[in-house]
Amino acid sequence: MPLRVVIADDHVIVRQGIRALLRAYDEVAVVGEAGRVDEIGPLLDGCDVLVLDLQMDRSSLPSIAAFARRVPVVLLTMSETPEETLAAVQAGARAVVFKRCALATLLDAVRAVAAGHVWLPPSLQAAVLAPQVPGGAERLSAREREVVRCVALGMRNAEIGRFLYISEDTVKKHLNAVFQKLRVRDRVQLTLWAIATGLAEAPERRGLA
């Protein structure tokens, strides 16, 4: 079944261009388009990935968290300043693609987030990892490392619990301990930390650019 994608951008020509280019690939089906932020919500039912313009309606940043709770968000942006894009990642975006990049880059990002992974440009990876203390794996228990690997694979808490034969509450307790020990803010930072320290697969094998 093809990946069902919704495109949200307030420039019609951009939406039409992305739609035409993505439709050249059988693995992707564009199932909806939005020209305003308030049009997006109803389109997300039955959607696998939302491709969202960060500058839509001046800024779609305040809405990212709500969308990200329902579907993986790939953020498109003209801005390459780390502050704005980092805020979007902290709000829940799973991928950031600069508009100057080729379609293949967008397609890679869509594939990655649909598979539960994170996809970020190298410059943003550095910004996300900068506040963290290098290393830290030695402070984690064996079970905590297993939980971190599962998070890096894109598993949700319930899936991690089933995979490791522990309760979802126990998964949450392990994650809280990991966040405190590593001083990471969220699952995106934890995934990048796992990649940087070798607890997860290397970026080139995970679709993380």
Cβ burial, residue 94 (10 Å; 0-12/13-18/19+): buried
Superfamily of 3-127 according to CATH: Response regulator (3.40.50.2300)
Q: What is the pLDDT of residue 182?
A: 87
- Span 103-125, pLDDT tens digits: 788 988 999 898 888 888 876 76
Q: What is the pLDDT of residue 202?
A: 37
pLDDT tens for the chain, residues 1 to 209: 899 999 999 999 989 988 988 888 888 999 999 999 999 999 999 899 999 998 887 788 888 889 988 999 999 988 777 777 777 887 888 899 988 887 788 988 999 898 888 888 876 766 665 554 456 778 889 999 999 988 887 788 999 999 999 999 999 999 999 998 888 878 877 887 887 777 765 333 333 33
* Separation of alpha carbons 21 and 8, rounded Å: 15
* Separation of alpha carbons 191 and 153, rounded Å: 8
Q: What is the pLDDT of residue 209?
A: 33
CATH T-level assignment (fold) for domain 137-206:
Arc Repressor Mutant, subunit A (1.10.10)
Q: What is the pLDDT of residue 30?
A: 93
* Separation of alpha carbons 124 and 142, rounded Å: 29
Q: Where are the domains of the chain?
A: 3-127, 137-206
Same fold, 3-127 and 137-206: no
